[in-house]
Amino acid sequence: MNPWLLGTIALVGLGLPVAVWIGARGSATDRLVGLELGAVDATLALLAFSQAVEQPSYLIVPAVAVVLAFAGTLVYTRLLAHPS
């Protein structure tokens, strides 16, 4: 067990439940913050895992996750917009 793997476990075990809790409660803006926090936490966990197992090819998944999280946030904020 190396420090990267411990970091991955900490991110998944501590960060994702907090993001889910924030994303499941409150106003639409609070849920958006939870969505962003979950995306950042998941991406960092995937980066740390790729370093833990020493497989550079695993870095493709977090790179795609960043792009998809950004696009998902844009779609979510578009759905939150009030019609004029």
Q: What is the pTM for the complete model shown? A: 0.85
User: Which ranges of the chain would DSSP assign to H, the alpha helix?
Assistant: 3-10, 16-24, 28-52, 60-80
pLDDT at position 83 over 70? no
Q: What are phi and psi of 2, to 5 degrees?
A: -105, 170
- pLDDT tens for 1-50 read 899 999 999 999 999 999 999 999 988 888 889 999 999 999 999 999 99
Decide: 50 and 58 in contact? Cβ < 8 Å: yes
pLDDT at site 78: 85
φ/ψ of 81, rounded to 5, equals: -65, 140
Q: Count Cβ neighbours within 10 Å for each residue of 33-56 and write b for 16 or more, e otherwise.
A: ebbbbbbbbbbbbbbbbbbbeeee
* Whole-number pLDDT of residue 15: 92
CB 69 within 8 A of CB 39: yes
Question: CA–CA separation, 47 vs 54, rounded Å?
Answer: 11
